[in-house]
Structure 1
Protein backbone atom coordinates (compact mmCIF):
# COMPACT_ATOMS: atom_id res chain seq x y z
CA UNK A 1 0.00 0.00 0.00
CA UNK A 2 1.58 3.29 -1.11
CA UNK A 3 1.48 6.11 1.45
CA UNK A 4 1.81 9.72 0.29
CA UNK A 5 1.45 11.24 -3.16
CA UNK A 6 4.21 13.83 -3.12
CA UNK A 7 5.72 14.04 -6.62
CA UNK A 8 9.25 14.75 -5.38
CA UNK A 9 9.29 13.40 -1.81
CA UNK A 10 12.07 14.03 0.66
CA UNK A 11 11.85 10.39 1.84
CA UNK A 12 10.93 7.74 -0.73
CA UNK A 13 10.77 3.97 -0.17
CA UNK A 14 9.79 1.72 -3.04
CA UNK A 15 9.40 -2.06 -2.97
CA UNK A 16 11.40 -2.22 0.25
CA UNK A 17 12.14 -5.71 1.54
CA UNK A 18 13.70 -6.67 4.85
CA UNK A 19 13.85 -9.87 6.83
CA UNK A 20 15.87 -11.65 9.49
CA UNK A 21 16.94 -15.18 10.18
CA UNK A 22 16.16 -16.76 13.50
CA UNK A 23 17.79 -20.14 13.79
CA UNK A 24 17.21 -21.71 10.40
CA UNK A 25 13.98 -19.82 9.75
CA UNK A 26 13.63 -16.73 7.54
CA UNK A 27 11.33 -14.13 9.07
CA UNK A 28 10.11 -11.44 6.62
CA UNK A 29 9.40 -7.99 8.04
CA UNK A 30 8.73 -6.01 4.85
CA UNK A 31 7.89 -7.62 1.51
CA UNK A 32 7.48 -4.58 -0.74
CA UNK A 33 6.92 -1.50 1.42
CA UNK A 34 6.22 1.84 -0.28
CA UNK A 35 6.34 5.19 1.50
CA UNK A 36 6.49 8.84 0.44
CA UNK A 37 7.15 11.67 2.91
CA UNK A 38 7.43 15.28 1.70
CA UNK A 39 9.98 17.66 3.17
CA UNK A 40 8.63 19.36 6.28
CA UNK A 41 6.13 16.63 7.17
CA UNK A 42 5.62 15.29 10.70
CA UNK A 43 4.62 11.62 10.52
CA UNK A 44 3.69 9.38 13.43
CA UNK A 45 4.06 5.64 12.84
CA UNK A 46 1.94 3.36 15.02
CA UNK A 47 1.31 -0.37 15.12
CA UNK A 48 1.47 -3.44 17.36
CA UNK A 49 4.73 -5.00 18.48
CA UNK A 50 6.33 -6.92 15.63
CA UNK A 51 4.70 -4.84 12.90
CA UNK A 52 8.02 -3.42 11.72
CA UNK A 53 8.13 0.04 13.34
CA UNK A 54 11.64 -0.31 14.77
CA UNK A 55 12.92 -1.94 11.59
CA UNK A 56 11.55 0.96 9.54
CA UNK A 57 13.20 3.51 11.83
CA UNK A 58 16.52 1.64 11.74
CA UNK A 59 16.50 1.64 7.94
CA UNK A 60 15.63 5.32 7.76
CA UNK A 61 18.52 5.95 10.16
CA UNK A 62 20.91 3.95 8.00
CA UNK A 63 21.53 1.50 10.85
CA UNK A 64 19.99 -1.40 8.91
CA UNK A 65 20.15 -1.86 5.14
CA UNK A 66 17.18 -3.18 3.14
CA UNK A 67 17.48 -6.57 1.44
CA UNK A 68 15.92 -5.18 -1.74
CA UNK A 69 14.07 -2.13 -3.00
CA UNK A 70 15.05 1.54 -2.93
CA UNK A 71 15.43 3.90 0.04
CA UNK A 72 16.12 7.51 -0.82
CA UNK A 73 16.34 10.49 1.54
CA UNK A 74 16.94 13.78 -0.21
CA UNK A 75 19.39 13.04 -3.00
CA UNK A 76 20.99 10.07 -1.20
CA UNK A 77 20.28 6.40 -1.90
CA UNK A 78 20.84 4.76 1.48
CA UNK A 79 20.18 1.31 0.03
CA UNK A 80 23.29 1.69 -2.16
CA UNK A 81 25.61 2.87 0.62
CA UNK A 82 28.00 0.79 2.67
CA UNK A 83 28.03 0.98 6.45
CA UNK A 84 30.71 3.70 6.68
CA UNK A 85 28.94 5.90 4.13
CA UNK A 86 25.61 5.51 5.92
CA UNK A 87 27.24 6.42 9.24
CA UNK A 88 28.76 9.57 7.71
CA UNK A 89 25.45 10.47 6.07
CA UNK A 90 23.62 10.04 9.38
CA UNK A 91 26.08 12.35 11.18
CA UNK A 92 25.53 15.14 8.67
CA UNK A 93 21.82 14.94 7.83
CA UNK A 94 19.89 13.42 10.71
CA UNK A 95 19.20 13.69 14.42
CA UNK A 96 17.79 10.87 16.57
CA UNK A 97 15.71 11.22 19.74
CA UNK A 98 15.61 8.08 21.89
CA UNK A 99 13.04 6.81 24.38
CA UNK A 100 15.52 6.54 27.26
CA UNK A 101 17.44 9.72 26.35
CA UNK A 102 20.84 7.97 25.85
CA UNK A 103 22.65 10.72 27.74
CA UNK A 104 26.10 10.04 29.18
CA UNK A 105 25.71 10.43 32.96
CA UNK A 106 29.27 11.66 33.52
CA UNK A 107 28.79 14.59 31.13
CA UNK A 108 26.90 17.81 31.76
CA UNK A 109 23.92 18.84 29.65
CA UNK A 110 26.16 21.08 27.55
CA UNK A 111 28.74 18.34 27.07
CA UNK A 112 26.09 15.83 26.02
CA UNK A 113 24.67 18.26 23.47
CA UNK A 114 28.15 19.09 22.17
CA UNK A 115 29.00 15.49 21.24
CA UNK A 116 27.77 15.59 17.60
CA UNK A 117 29.74 18.79 17.01
CA UNK A 118 33.05 17.12 17.88
CA UNK A 119 32.93 15.53 14.42
CA UNK A 120 32.71 18.92 12.71
CA UNK A 121 35.45 21.47 11.93
CA UNK A 122 34.30 23.98 14.55
CA UNK A 123 36.28 25.89 17.15
CA UNK A 124 35.54 25.44 20.84
CA UNK A 125 33.87 28.87 20.87
CA UNK A 126 31.68 28.00 17.88
CA UNK A 127 30.62 24.75 19.55
CA UNK A 128 29.79 26.55 22.80
CA UNK A 129 27.66 29.14 21.00
CA UNK A 130 25.69 26.43 19.18
CA UNK A 131 25.17 24.43 22.38
CA UNK A 132 23.95 27.46 24.32
CA UNK A 133 21.59 28.38 21.48
CA UNK A 134 19.86 25.00 21.28
CA UNK A 135 19.64 24.59 25.05
CA UNK A 136 17.91 27.98 25.17
CA UNK A 137 15.64 26.85 22.31
CA UNK A 138 14.45 23.80 24.30
CA UNK A 139 13.95 25.82 27.48
CA UNK A 140 17.07 24.79 29.37
CA UNK A 141 19.06 28.02 29.40
CA UNK A 142 21.08 28.20 32.61
CA UNK A 143 21.21 24.40 33.04
CA UNK A 144 24.30 23.86 30.90
CA UNK A 145 26.40 22.56 33.81
CA UNK A 146 23.78 20.23 35.28
CA UNK A 147 24.25 16.48 35.01
CA UNK A 148 21.45 14.15 33.84
CA UNK A 149 20.88 12.84 37.38
CA UNK A 150 20.02 16.40 38.48
CA UNK A 151 17.21 16.66 35.91
CA UNK A 152 13.68 15.32 35.53
CA UNK A 153 12.86 12.89 32.74
CA UNK A 154 11.28 15.65 30.68
CA UNK A 155 14.35 17.85 31.07
CA UNK A 156 16.63 14.98 30.08
CA UNK A 157 14.57 14.41 26.95
CA UNK A 158 14.91 18.10 26.13
CA UNK A 159 18.68 17.66 26.36
CA UNK A 160 18.27 14.70 23.99
CA UNK A 161 16.33 16.88 21.54
CA UNK A 162 18.94 19.64 21.79
CA UNK A 163 21.66 17.11 20.99
CA UNK A 164 19.62 15.86 18.01
CA UNK A 165 19.24 19.33 16.49
CA UNK A 166 22.58 20.96 17.39
CA UNK A 167 24.02 20.06 13.97
CA UNK A 168 20.92 21.53 12.27
CA UNK A 169 19.84 18.31 10.49
CA UNK A 170 16.91 18.31 8.10
CA UNK A 171 15.47 15.06 9.47
CA UNK A 172 14.61 14.00 13.02
CA UNK A 173 13.82 10.38 13.85
CA UNK A 174 12.08 9.90 17.18
CA UNK A 175 11.85 6.44 18.77
CA UNK A 176 9.07 6.48 21.39
CA UNK A 177 10.27 9.93 22.59
CA UNK A 178 7.62 10.14 25.32
CA UNK A 179 7.51 6.48 26.32
CA UNK A 180 9.31 7.08 29.62
CA UNK A 181 7.52 10.32 30.57
CA UNK A 182 4.40 11.31 32.49
CA UNK A 183 1.60 12.97 30.52
CA UNK A 184 2.57 16.55 31.38
CA UNK A 185 6.24 16.06 30.49
CA UNK A 186 5.25 14.11 27.37
CA UNK A 187 3.04 16.94 26.12
CA UNK A 188 5.83 19.47 26.71
CA UNK A 189 8.24 17.36 24.65
CA UNK A 190 5.65 16.88 21.90
CA UNK A 191 4.97 20.62 21.78
CA UNK A 192 8.71 21.08 21.28
CA UNK A 193 8.70 18.60 18.40
CA UNK A 194 5.72 20.35 16.84
CA UNK A 195 7.58 23.68 17.13
CA UNK A 196 10.64 22.18 15.44
CA UNK A 197 8.42 20.93 12.63
CA UNK A 198 6.19 23.95 12.07
CA UNK A 199 8.60 26.80 12.84
CA UNK A 200 12.03 25.37 12.01
CA UNK A 201 10.59 23.12 9.25
CA UNK A 202 12.29 19.93 10.38
CA UNK A 203 10.98 16.74 8.81
CA UNK A 204 10.04 14.37 11.65
CA UNK A 205 9.26 10.65 11.68
CA UNK A 206 8.12 9.49 15.12
CA UNK A 207 7.42 5.90 16.18
CA UNK A 208 4.99 5.79 19.08
CA UNK A 209 2.53 3.53 20.88
CA UNK A 210 0.72 6.55 22.33
CA UNK A 211 -2.38 7.77 20.43
CA UNK A 212 -2.14 11.10 22.29
CA UNK A 213 1.41 11.59 21.01
CA UNK A 214 0.30 10.82 17.45
CA UNK A 215 -2.16 13.72 17.59
CA UNK A 216 0.77 16.14 17.49
CA UNK A 217 1.85 14.85 14.07
CA UNK A 218 0.49 16.08 10.75
CA UNK A 219 -0.49 12.51 9.81
CA UNK A 220 -0.43 9.04 11.34
CA UNK A 221 0.49 5.85 9.50
CA UNK A 222 -0.44 2.44 10.92
CA UNK A 223 1.79 -0.56 10.32
CA UNK A 224 0.35 -4.04 10.50
CA UNK A 225 2.28 -7.17 9.54
CA UNK A 226 4.85 -5.17 7.62
CA UNK A 227 2.51 -2.96 5.60
CA UNK A 228 0.64 0.31 6.02
CA UNK A 229 -3.07 -0.30 6.50
CA UNK A 230 -4.44 3.09 7.46
CA UNK A 231 -3.57 6.76 7.36
CA UNK A 232 -5.08 9.51 9.48
CA UNK A 233 -4.40 13.18 8.87
CA UNK A 234 -4.56 15.86 11.52
CA UNK A 235 -7.62 18.06 11.34
Structure 2
Protein backbone atom coordinates (compact mmCIF):
# COMPACT_ATOMS: atom_id res chain seq x y z
CA UNK A 1 0.00 0.00 0.00
CA UNK A 2 2.80 2.36 0.94
CA UNK A 3 4.72 1.52 -2.22
CA UNK A 4 1.62 2.26 -4.31
CA UNK A 5 1.16 5.63 -2.61
CA UNK A 6 4.86 6.34 -3.09
CA UNK A 7 4.53 5.57 -6.80
CA UNK A 8 1.48 7.83 -7.13
CA UNK A 9 3.26 10.66 -5.28
CA UNK A 10 6.32 10.22 -7.50
CA UNK A 11 4.26 10.37 -10.69
CA UNK A 12 2.35 13.40 -9.42
CA UNK A 13 5.60 15.14 -8.52
CA UNK A 14 7.04 14.44 -11.96
CA UNK A 15 3.88 15.67 -13.70
CA UNK A 16 3.86 18.84 -11.59
CA UNK A 17 7.54 19.39 -12.40
CA UNK A 18 6.98 18.92 -16.13
CA UNK A 19 3.96 21.25 -16.11
CA UNK A 20 5.87 23.83 -14.09
CA UNK A 21 8.86 23.70 -16.43
CA UNK A 22 6.52 23.95 -19.45
CA UNK A 23 4.83 27.03 -18.00
CA UNK A 24 8.19 28.66 -17.28
CA UNK A 25 9.38 27.81 -20.80
CA UNK A 26 6.19 29.24 -22.29
CA UNK A 27 6.64 32.46 -20.31
CA UNK A 28 10.26 32.68 -21.47
CA UNK A 29 9.19 32.23 -25.10
CA UNK A 30 6.66 35.06 -24.72
CA UNK A 31 9.35 37.24 -23.14
CA UNK A 32 11.82 36.51 -25.96
CA UNK A 33 9.17 37.25 -28.59
CA UNK A 34 8.16 40.54 -26.97
CA UNK A 35 11.82 41.45 -26.50
CA UNK A 36 12.52 40.94 -30.21
CA UNK A 37 9.46 42.98 -31.16
CA UNK A 38 9.99 45.88 -28.73
CA UNK A 39 13.77 46.38 -28.87
CA UNK A 40 13.82 47.45 -32.57
CA UNK A 41 11.42 50.28 -31.68
CA UNK A 42 14.20 51.91 -29.66
CA UNK A 43 16.96 51.37 -32.23
CA UNK A 44 18.04 53.89 -34.85
CA UNK A 45 16.33 53.60 -38.21
CA UNK A 46 18.39 52.12 -41.02
CA UNK A 47 18.04 51.50 -44.75
CA UNK A 48 19.34 48.40 -46.45
CA UNK A 49 19.78 47.87 -50.15
CA UNK A 50 17.71 44.94 -51.40
CA UNK A 51 17.52 45.50 -55.14
CA UNK A 52 19.72 47.24 -57.66
CA UNK A 53 18.15 47.91 -61.05
CA UNK A 54 19.20 50.31 -63.79
CA UNK A 55 16.19 52.04 -65.32
CA UNK A 56 16.16 53.84 -68.67
CA UNK A 57 16.32 57.66 -68.68
CA UNK A 58 17.22 57.81 -64.97
CA UNK A 59 18.95 61.17 -65.41
CA UNK A 60 15.65 62.85 -66.30
CA UNK A 61 13.29 61.21 -63.79
CA UNK A 62 11.19 63.69 -61.78
CA UNK A 63 8.85 61.20 -60.13
CA UNK A 64 8.80 57.52 -59.29
CA UNK A 65 6.63 55.17 -57.25
CA UNK A 66 6.69 51.44 -56.57
CA UNK A 67 3.90 48.96 -55.86
CA UNK A 68 3.41 47.07 -52.58
CA UNK A 69 5.14 43.93 -53.87
CA UNK A 70 8.21 45.95 -54.91
CA UNK A 71 8.22 44.48 -58.41
CA UNK A 72 6.67 47.29 -60.51
CA UNK A 73 7.59 50.96 -60.74
CA UNK A 74 6.28 54.08 -62.46
CA UNK A 75 8.64 56.81 -63.67
CA UNK A 76 7.96 60.23 -65.20
CA UNK A 77 10.72 62.21 -66.88
CA UNK A 78 11.22 65.93 -67.45
CA UNK A 79 10.30 65.48 -71.10
CA UNK A 80 6.90 64.03 -70.15
CA UNK A 81 7.69 60.38 -70.72
CA UNK A 82 5.62 58.02 -68.55
CA UNK A 83 6.81 54.44 -68.13
CA UNK A 84 5.64 51.46 -66.09
CA UNK A 85 8.48 49.01 -65.55
CA UNK A 86 8.36 45.44 -64.20
CA UNK A 87 11.38 44.97 -61.95
CA UNK A 88 10.96 41.21 -61.62
CA UNK A 89 10.97 40.62 -65.37
CA UNK A 90 13.16 43.62 -66.19
CA UNK A 91 10.96 44.88 -68.98
CA UNK A 92 8.65 47.81 -69.68
CA UNK A 93 4.96 47.13 -69.01
CA UNK A 94 3.80 50.20 -70.92
CA UNK A 95 4.97 53.67 -71.87
CA UNK A 96 3.37 56.82 -73.21
CA UNK A 97 4.03 60.49 -73.82
CA UNK A 98 2.11 62.81 -71.52
CA UNK A 99 0.32 65.79 -73.12
CA UNK A 100 2.97 68.06 -71.57
CA UNK A 101 6.26 68.42 -73.41
CA UNK A 102 8.40 69.97 -70.68
CA UNK A 103 7.49 69.23 -67.07
CA UNK A 104 8.55 71.67 -64.36
CA UNK A 105 7.03 70.20 -61.19
CA UNK A 106 5.00 67.20 -59.97
CA UNK A 107 3.01 66.87 -56.75
CA UNK A 108 0.81 64.14 -55.26
CA UNK A 109 -2.83 65.06 -54.79
CA UNK A 110 -2.71 63.30 -51.39
CA UNK A 111 -0.01 61.10 -49.83
CA UNK A 112 -2.27 58.03 -49.92
CA UNK A 113 -3.62 58.55 -53.45
CA UNK A 114 -2.08 57.57 -56.77
CA UNK A 115 -3.11 60.87 -58.32
CA UNK A 116 -0.65 63.50 -59.51
CA UNK A 117 -0.80 67.17 -60.42
CA UNK A 118 1.76 67.73 -63.20
CA UNK A 119 2.74 71.20 -64.44
CA UNK A 120 4.73 72.24 -67.50
CA UNK A 121 6.98 75.18 -68.31
CA UNK A 122 4.07 77.08 -69.89
CA UNK A 123 1.82 77.09 -66.82
CA UNK A 124 -0.37 74.18 -67.92
CA UNK A 125 -1.50 71.45 -65.52
CA UNK A 126 -2.90 67.94 -65.97
CA UNK A 127 -4.15 65.47 -63.38
CA UNK A 128 -2.74 61.97 -63.86
CA UNK A 129 -4.02 58.89 -62.06
CA UNK A 130 -2.22 55.55 -62.09
CA UNK A 131 -2.88 52.13 -60.66
CA UNK A 132 -0.83 48.98 -60.22
CA UNK A 133 -2.72 45.73 -60.84
CA UNK A 134 -2.03 42.01 -60.65
CA UNK A 135 -2.65 39.74 -63.62
CA UNK A 136 -2.93 36.02 -62.83
CA UNK A 137 -3.42 34.76 -66.37
CA UNK A 138 -1.29 31.72 -67.10
CA UNK A 139 -1.23 30.70 -63.43
CA UNK A 140 1.44 33.21 -62.41
CA UNK A 141 1.12 36.67 -60.90
CA UNK A 142 2.25 39.43 -63.22
CA UNK A 143 2.26 43.10 -62.26
CA UNK A 144 0.55 45.45 -64.70
CA UNK A 145 -0.41 49.10 -64.55
CA UNK A 146 -2.61 51.68 -66.20
CA UNK A 147 -2.89 55.47 -66.31
CA UNK A 148 -5.98 57.70 -66.39
CA UNK A 149 -6.71 61.38 -66.93
CA UNK A 150 -9.66 62.21 -64.61
CA UNK A 151 -9.88 65.80 -65.91
CA UNK A 152 -8.96 65.01 -69.50
CA UNK A 153 -5.72 65.30 -71.44
CA UNK A 154 -6.16 68.97 -72.32
CA UNK A 155 -3.87 70.97 -69.98
CA UNK A 156 -5.58 73.34 -67.55
CA UNK A 157 -4.01 76.77 -68.04
CA UNK A 158 -3.21 77.86 -64.48
CA UNK A 159 -0.66 80.54 -65.42
CA UNK A 160 1.08 81.94 -68.48
CA UNK A 161 4.47 81.42 -66.82
CA UNK A 162 6.40 78.35 -65.66
CA UNK A 163 5.07 76.89 -62.40
CA UNK A 164 7.65 76.29 -59.68
CA UNK A 165 5.40 74.69 -57.04
CA UNK A 166 1.99 73.07 -57.27
CA UNK A 167 -0.54 71.14 -55.23
CA UNK A 168 -4.04 69.77 -55.68
CA UNK A 169 -6.84 68.34 -53.55
CA UNK A 170 -9.57 66.13 -54.95
CA UNK A 171 -12.85 65.09 -53.36
CA UNK A 172 -16.02 63.50 -54.72
CA UNK A 173 -17.24 66.60 -56.54
CA UNK A 174 -14.27 68.88 -57.20
CA UNK A 175 -10.54 69.29 -57.66
CA UNK A 176 -8.70 72.36 -56.40
CA UNK A 177 -5.34 73.22 -57.97
CA UNK A 178 -2.95 75.88 -56.66
CA UNK A 179 0.38 76.86 -58.21
CA UNK A 180 3.21 79.34 -57.69
CA UNK A 181 4.81 80.70 -60.87
CA UNK A 182 8.16 82.22 -61.81
CA UNK A 183 6.80 85.77 -61.40
CA UNK A 184 6.12 85.18 -57.71
CA UNK A 185 2.35 84.91 -58.05
CA UNK A 186 -0.10 82.35 -56.69
CA UNK A 187 -2.81 81.01 -58.97
CA UNK A 188 -5.76 78.81 -58.10
CA UNK A 189 -8.49 76.99 -59.97
CA UNK A 190 -11.34 74.79 -58.77
CA UNK A 191 -12.95 72.31 -61.15
CA UNK A 192 -16.34 70.76 -60.45
CA UNK A 193 -17.65 67.45 -61.77
CA UNK A 194 -21.35 66.63 -61.53
CA UNK A 195 -23.32 63.78 -63.06
CA UNK A 196 -26.52 64.61 -64.92
CA UNK A 197 -29.23 62.57 -63.17
CA UNK A 198 -31.16 62.10 -66.44
CA UNK A 199 -28.49 61.38 -69.05
CA UNK A 200 -25.71 60.16 -66.75
CA UNK A 201 -23.29 62.53 -68.49
CA UNK A 202 -20.53 64.11 -66.41
CA UNK A 203 -20.83 67.91 -66.55
CA UNK A 204 -17.70 69.86 -65.69
CA UNK A 205 -17.33 73.51 -64.75
CA UNK A 206 -14.52 75.58 -63.30
CA UNK A 207 -13.79 78.88 -61.62
CA UNK A 208 -10.74 80.80 -60.45
CA UNK A 209 -9.72 80.93 -56.80
CA UNK A 210 -8.78 84.39 -55.63
CA UNK A 211 -5.25 84.12 -54.23
CA UNK A 212 -3.44 86.64 -51.98
CA UNK A 213 -0.11 88.33 -52.67
CA UNK A 214 2.73 86.71 -50.76
CA UNK A 215 6.18 87.89 -49.69
CA UNK A 216 7.95 84.52 -49.62
CA UNK A 217 9.19 82.19 -52.35
CA UNK A 218 7.65 78.79 -51.62
CA UNK A 219 8.94 75.53 -53.03
CA UNK A 220 6.19 73.50 -51.39
CA UNK A 221 2.40 73.97 -51.32
CA UNK A 222 -0.20 71.93 -49.46
CA UNK A 223 -3.97 72.36 -49.59
CA UNK A 224 -5.65 71.15 -46.41
CA UNK A 225 -8.91 69.22 -46.15
CA UNK A 226 -12.12 71.05 -46.99
CA UNK A 227 -10.00 73.30 -49.22
CA UNK A 228 -10.02 76.10 -46.65
CA UNK A 229 -6.31 76.51 -45.87
CA UNK A 230 -3.08 76.55 -47.85
CA UNK A 231 0.36 75.82 -46.40
CA UNK A 232 3.40 77.40 -48.08
CA UNK A 233 6.96 76.42 -47.18
CA UNK A 234 10.31 77.78 -48.35
CA UNK A 235 13.67 76.05 -48.71
CA UNK A 236 14.95 77.70 -45.51
CA UNK A 237 12.02 76.42 -43.44
CA UNK A 238 9.74 79.46 -43.43
CA UNK A 239 5.98 78.82 -43.38
Q: Same fold (TM over 0.5)?
A: no
- Counting helix residues as a fraction of each chain, which structure ranks higher? 1
- Rg larger for: 2
Structure 1 or 2: more strand by fraction: 2
Structure of higher RCO (CA pairs closer than 8 Å, 6+ residues apart): 1
